[in-house]
Amino acid sequence: MESRPRFFLFYLLFLASAAFSNAHIGDFDEYWQKKAEAARDRAQGSYNPDPESVTQSFNEAVSKDLEGNVTRRSLRGKHKFNGPCVATNPIDRCWRCKKDWMQNRKRLAKCAKGFGRHTIGGKNGDLYVVTDASDNDLISPKKGTLRYGVIQDRPLWIVFASDMIIRLNEELLVTSDKTIDARGSNVHIMGGAGIMLQFVHNVIIHGLHIHDIKAGNGGMIRDSEHHFGLRTRSDGDGISIYGSSNIWIDHVSMSNCMDGLIDVIQGSTAITISNSHFTKHNDVMLFGASDSYQGDAMMQITVAFNHFGKGLVQRMPRCRWGFVHVVNNDYTHWLMYAVGGSQHPTILSQGNRYIAPHSLAAKEVTKRDYAPQAVWKDWTWRSEGDLMQNGAFFVESGPPNRMKFNTKDLIKAKPGSFVTRLTRFSGALNCFPGRPC
């Protein structure tokens, strides 16, 4: 049996007393206590004591996928791509150029890579079709709404009957074993509250536009078929992942949320964020919310094939504790820094393209907080095969990572010069029945 790191012993003790101080749960009743305990067990089962093997597997998949693929992209936004379907990375190659994607939506469940690779979402459930864009009843949501689908206590693959704009009156509490699949429809979550994954496992979010999210006021909100309870005010994150595991966010377009675009906190692990497009935001991604919360030491996240675009300022991501694999992303804009953190996270940056802003004060890709150099010099932050442009530079620290990972958990990077093709189709896609996406 594989040994677990010593911090798990502290984690179990510490989590019981500290995990719920900012959980937005107004009444932490028996239902939430049992749900939190089950989430802890799932997270421990999802944690990989050998994370570098995961990055190696990712790297191998990327290398294999690019053999013979010489497609190049034009500058994003300058020319619309009208050629034949070209899947430019191993996640997309799994499904995107198949004409029958609509008849075989659940093929997507086989396609995750990196730390979230075991996520299958609602593969073992029925299709649920969202036909109603309203969100008027938070306790007894109407059948046909998105809220009704996500609170069901069974696996579901959730799709949309048509294009729609959904304004959530309060945060959307998603239960385990769900896929929210917007392919084939132009679906915007905007103008209201965001999406909360709290003490859940096995969730896929794919193809949504999420923007202009506001903080919710809280109140009585249903969180499953058989339970509702008091929620406090939400933060205004686009997607918040709290105490959850096996989560995959793919091909989303996100911008301009009140707090973060994506927050991953409170012992969440086994997560992949891929093929997404981020614009017009200050604090983009937060991985770990507190320097004092040791439970985030189990956090393992893959950030791959994303485009960090116009109007971004910082936190792409900002990390505490844990292990973060930042691989083959395109960083074309930032104002302060791209990748930062505190509390000795391990950050492995491989094959990204970093284009620094014109400001001489913002050329450094990295930023360490709340620690002098005498301390952070021992943090493992490594840059391998990254392409630095316009004066960008990555300040490395610490020894090479010595942790051992399952080879399927780490995506093998191509050099940063390949990033434009790997991220060419990032963000929500325009998919039509009978045609490749």
Whether 111 is in a domain gets the answer yes
Angle between helices 30-46 and 7-18 (to 10 degrees): 160
Q: Which residue has the higher pLDDT, 75 or 316?
A: 316
pLDDT for 39 equals 86
Whole domain around residue 110: which residue ranges? Answer: 50-119+166-213+236-422
Cα 437 to Cα 431: distance, rounded to the nearest angstrom: 4
Whether 228 is in a domain gets the answer no
Whether 333 is in a domain gets the answer yes
Nearest partner of 237 among 276, 294, 198, 182, judged by Cα: 198
pLDDT tens digit string along 36-82? 888 888 888 887 877 767 766 666 666 666 554 433 333 334 345 66
Q: What is the pTM of this model?
A: 0.90
Whether 136 is in a domain gets the answer no
Asked if 204 contacts 177 with a C-beta cutoff of 8 angstroms, the reply is no
- State yes or no: is 315 an active-site residue: yes
Residue 299: pLDDT band with limits 50, 70, 90: very high
- Read off the CATH number of the domain in which 102 is found: 2.160.20.10
Number of domains observed in the structure of the chain: 1
> What is the torsional sign of CA 390, 65, 58, 244?
positive
Q: What is the mean pLDDT of the chain?
A: 89
Nearest partner of 346 among 385, 300, 387, 306, judged by Cα: 300
Whether 381 is in a domain gets the answer yes
Whether 205 is in a domain gets the answer yes
Whether 29 is in a domain gets the answer no
Considering 76, 183, 222, 315, which one is annotated as catalytic? 315
pLDDT tens digit string along 197-238? 999 999 999 999 999 999 999 999 999 999 999 999 999 999
pLDDT tens digit string along 86-100? 888 999 999 999 999
Whether 36 is in a domain gets the answer no
Asked if 283 contacts 254 with a C-beta cutoff of 8 angstroms, the reply is no
Cα 157 to Cα 41: distance, rounded to the nearest angstrom: 24
Residue 168: pLDDT band with limits 50, 70, 90: very high
> What is the torsional sign of CA 227, 229, 234, 236?
positive
Would you give the end-to-end CA distance of the chain in angstroms? 43
Nearest partner of 151 among 86, 221, 225, 215, judged by Cα: 225
